[in-house]
Chains A and B, each alone.
Chain A
Amino acid sequence: MRRSLPFLWIAFLASVPLWLGDPYFLHVLITTGIFTIAAMSLNLLLGYTGQLSLGHVAFFGIGAYTSALTSLGFDVNIFGLRIVHEPWPVVIGFVMGIVVAGLCGYAIGKLSFKVRGAYFVIVTISFAEVTRLVALNWVELTQGPLALNNIPPFTVSFPGLGEHTLWGKVPNYYVMLVVAVLAYAVIARLVRSRIGRAMIALRENEPLATSVGIDVTRFLVLAAVVSAGIAGAAGGLYAHFVRIIDPDIFLFIYTVTMVIMVVTGGKGTLAGPIVGGLIFGILPVFLRAYASPVAQWIIYGVLMILIVFFLPRGIVPAVRAWWENRMGAAAVERTGAPIERAGADAHS
């Protein structure tokens, strides 16, 4: 039961397009999934290493722009040096997006060792803002405010079956789902490994962790690289699904959206960002009928304050505590909660 539950979940999620008749809701689910992946990646930094990276959208945007530009091609002049890039297949672009975002994550990870707390927050915000302004002003490369349009959709090729372009929503849903499952698996493995335990030890008590021989820089950098790479993957998915990106993709509000997802769901838990992501991805569809987008944001803001006040650890830990209370120790065994606990807080 414990082992099969994740597979049941995946099977359920995979069945969604089969019975969900409404293409618009499927569209919402795909974008929700993409932002949930980004939130999962943020959780790795925010929840497990305790580094509040408020420039996380930069990695998302860098992944999106890199992937889009690799697959669209470009022709730029840098100080008299002309660089022409012919369009490459989308899959290569997608991987490039992950790599470039990961490299930026490496730089930020190195930096996070040098500046901490409030300073780190400001540096990450500044980094995101600089990437936005570069995307806005390097018109030759990014088209600036004209937006990068007509980004090719994903293609898949099977040996012997030729190449297929994924135009519709259903194939894109499955691409998103595959990336989401892979991202989850990577993060889950990482936080349950020795490295993950070291990261949590770092979050809880850095001097102590350092004194027992944990290499702080190495773990922070590793977490930052993986986190940025996954955010870049989410960005790539977004670019090839929506097929248009503009510099506003780097706006601070998107980072805030991810932070809200993580904090609401429960930072430092594997399920937290997924719960938060689903809530804040799907909530707008419900709220539409009753509240304008502006009113919705007010609700999110209030919700965020209330959660920090009354559920400081988020929904998932709170629900788990309530469930354990009710069901007693026996239920804990059945639902498989201890696995999550091992990664989340058992070692705190």
Chain B
Amino acid sequence: MRLTWMRTAVAAAGLALIAAGPAGYAQTIKIGVNEPLTGAVAASGNFVVNGAKIAADEINAKGGILGSKIELVIEDNKSNPTEAVAAAEKLIVRDKVPVMMGAWSSTYTLAVMPKLMEYKVPMLVETSSSDKITVSGNPYVFRIAPTSGMEATAFADRVGTMKIRKADFLVVNNDWGKGSADVFGKMLKDKGVAIGVIETMDASAQDLNAQLAKIRSSDADTLFVTTAVEQLTLVLKQVQALGLKRQIITTGGSQSPDQLIEQAGAAANGSYHLLFFPPWAPEATPNAAAAKSFVAEWRKRGYTFAGLTEGFRGYDGIHTIAAAITKAGKAEPEAIRAALWETQLTGLNGKIAFNKVGPSGKESGQSTAAVYVVKIDSGKVTLVR
């Protein structure tokens, strides 16, 4: 019996080797995509992937790059940091991608970063905004998303016009939420605004009544909320149910106002949102032609309009990577990393070019980004100029 087992095991291992062999097709350039497709922040991850697919198809329709088509190898990180690492490991070791895009949440990106050092593969960060990512001395990280600090600085001018005197925070208890509360809190204090309570919530929490009841007993006039769109819907609904009258400002660019209007209804009225792409006014963006055709293609594919504010990140990310590969002249990790420093293009958000940040000698790349403020009024989104 045991011998039979051994034979089976050997056969199994052999088969597995065949199965594990080169899975893709020759003549394509692989780009790894590491996004949350299931779990707490799945909606956002799926939107980013939609945008990435549009970019890839656009590039391939024009004949690809370096004479080859690009192929997105998409892995689900299941809204979990350990799974994000497993996905990166699989993309690098098994699919042998020379470059990746990911991993949406700052927590997942930070988790993946040691793997980039270990295998020397560059990653383009399309969404994560924690300041920690680019200052840790990881030379394989290139970020097109603005940091929470950049977002707070961009918002500083509006503190006066929005008459903020005292602010509370309700943020998701991860790198993104806490980092955002830190930098916005600091910016507000510098502007002479008082800080009330800072409440946190788990990314998968649905009943936020306890936190909101506490916030209700504070005398602040403004509530800053940082979380993904799924949870934001719940926050807005529960805020309204508690009769909490506050000026609500959401940060981070992953709020999708249209989805809020659809799912939270009147509860979304009067709220302000900091975003990095305004699909309601593509003409207001630096690359208006590309923005219009992106919005048109998105609609044509039947993706939900609400996803555009997130989907543009995937589009910009893949275009940036493709430009870097073209510049590098070959699809190899080190060449792409070097080429990313030279890469310049105008994306949907604005101009993309990487500046060196972090400890000298092992700087990470950080592009500056434009920030847009929109307001929801009686079920309509308007750009606050």
- The answer on direct contact between A and B (beta carbons under 8 Å) is yes
- B162 close to A (CB within 8 Å): no
A108 close to B (CB within 8 Å): no
* Stretch from A94-102, A175-183, A204-212, A284-292 forming part of the interface with B: A284-292
Instruction: Tell whether, in the assembled complex, residue A248 and residue B80 are in contact, meaning their CB atoms are under 8 Å apart.
Output: yes
A218 lies within 8 A of chain B by Cβ: no
Of B12-20, B189-197, B326-334, which binds chain A?
B12-20
A32 to chain B minimum Cβ distance, whole angstroms, is: 11
- Nearest-Cβ distance from residue B301 to partner chain A, whole angstroms: 21
Q: Would you call A23 and B2 a contact (CB within 8 A)?
A: no
Which residue on chain B has the smallest CB distance to residue A20? Answer: B13
A288 and B20 CA atoms in complex are apart in Å by 10
Which of A156-164, A228-236, A238-246 touches B? A238-246
Say yes or no for A145: interface residue by CB 8 A criterion: yes
**B9 contacts A244, CB within 8 Å?**
no
- How far apart are the CA atoms of A5 and B6 in the complex, in Å? 11
List of A residues within 8 angstroms of B82 by Cβ:
147, 242, 244-246, 248-249
Chain B interface category by residue count: 20 to 34
Residues B93 and A24 in contact, CB atoms below 8 Å apart: yes
Interface size on A, residues (CB 8 A): 41
Nearest-CB distance from A251 to chain B (Å)? Answer: 9
Kindly state whether residue B5 has any CB partner on chain A within 8 Å: yes
Q: Is the CB of A9 within 8 A of B2?
A: yes
- B93 to A23, Cβ gap below 8 A? yes
Closest to B16 in A: A285
Choice from A25, A146, A275, A288 contacting B17 with Cβ under 8 Å: A25
Contacts A147-B107, A289-B19 given; indicate if A275 touches B81 (C-beta within 8 A).
no
Closest to B175 in A: A146
Asked if B16 and A25 sit within 8 Å, CB to CB, the answer is yes
| Chain A CB within 8 A of B299 CB | no
Docked Cα-Cα span, A174 to B17, in Å, equals 20
Q: Tell me if A319 is interfacial: C-beta within 8 Å of chain B.
A: yes
Mark interface residues in B64-103 (1 if CB within 8 Å of A CB, else 0). 0000000000001000111001100110011000000000
- A285 in contact with B114 (CB, 8 Å): no
Q: Rank and list the top 8 A-B pairs by shortest CB-CB distance, nearest first.
A: A24-B94, A147-B81, A24-B93, A323-B1, A145-B174, A246-B81, A285-B16, A22-B20
User: Which B residues fall within an 8 A CB radius of A?
Assistant: 1-3, 5-6, 9, 12-13, 15-17, 19-20, 23, 76, 80-82, 85-86, 89-90, 93-94, 107, 110-111, 114, 118, 173-175, 202-203
Query: Can you list 12 pairs linking A and B with CB atoms under 8 Å apart?
Result: A9-B2, A20-B13, A27-B93, A136-B202, A144-B174, A146-B107, A245-B82, A248-B80, A285-B16, A285-B20, A288-B19, A293-B76
